Amino acid sequence: MRQYLLGPSFLGQSRITLSGKESQYLTRVLRIKQDQSFAGIDNQGRIWDLKMDSIGRDSCTLSCSQAEQGKAKVATDTMPSYAGPFPRIFLYQCLCKGKKIEQIVRQATEIGVEEIVLVQSTYCVSDFSNKSEKTVSLRTERLESQIKEAIQQSGSPIATHLNERVLKLTEVPGHWNKKGLGLFFHQSEIPDQKSLYGLLKDLPMEEPIAILIGSEGGFSDEECTFLETSEFKPVLLKTNILRAESAAIYAISAIQVLLTEK
């Protein structure tokens, strides 16, 4: 663990008590001892210096102070790494089969995506619209725990957030609400299409970017037309036809690389 992800119940208190699984994770799995200091991140992406104050049988208490200049005093893993800036990437990901979507969510979090929104499109093999509430909430729970683990392990300074509801593709432009550049990735070229480099070259680092990735079957012609009229720009990746889980990480990497390396 490079940083401990403070849950939504943490609101900036100077002391918090954890119990059950959370306490066990810190004291038994990571074996954090009394008085040991370590780094934390809250779900707004703020960095905290944490100290283990006391360890009980099924609970523990931490003292928390916000890190100065956004840098933790003690990183659990002290290996230096890239400290930013990070482009602000919002991933709209069409549903794929179970394990694939978990892999996408986990890797997108590692790389530093700000928000992940799952989308139901025409060619989705996996359809959640008719699933029971329990199935849907179990899936959400699994994805949330993938995100949490990825933030803790990668030391990402971005507290990736999973949108609680699966959107229909037609709801995507409304949800995005033109906050910044909107892109959708597909395999065929549309006349007069700009290159990814062309779309990004004059973009400031702080401009939010939405990227919409299809399911295993890509997008239908109607969906492409709808997206273009909604000011989402088509992008052809200059590579082979990738499986959905490879396309997602390729596209996120491509945008991060083009913006951070330029």
Residue reference for tokens 């009394």: 34
Residues 6+ positions from 90 with CB-CB distance below 8 Å: 113, 114, 115, 117, 176, 179, 208, 209, 210, 211
Phi-psi region of 136 (alpha: psi -120 to 50; beta: other; left: phi over 0): alpha
Nearer to its own copies, 23 or 107 (CB): 107
What is the nearest approach in angstroms of its own copies to the Cβ of residue 188?
5
- Note the residues at the interface with its own copies (CB under 8 A): 2, 77, 79-82, 86, 107, 110-112, 153-157, 187-189, 195-197, 218, 236-243, 246, 249-250, 253-254, 256-258, 260-262
Half-sphere exposure in the Cβ direction for 234 (13 Å, CA): 20
- Which residue, 3 or 27, has its beta carbon nearer to its own copies? 3
CB of 68 vs its own copies, minimal distance in Å: 21
The least distance separating its own copies from the CB of residue 56, rounded to whole angstroms, comes to 32
| The pairing of beta strand 4-5 with beta strand 37-41 | parallel
Work out how close the CB of 51 gets to its own copies at its nearest, in angstroms, rounded to a whole number.
Answer: 23
Cα gap 91→248, rounded to integer Å: 9
Q: Which residue lies nearer to its own copies by CB, 178 or 243?
A: 243
Select 20 or 80, whichever has its Cβ closest to its own copies: 80
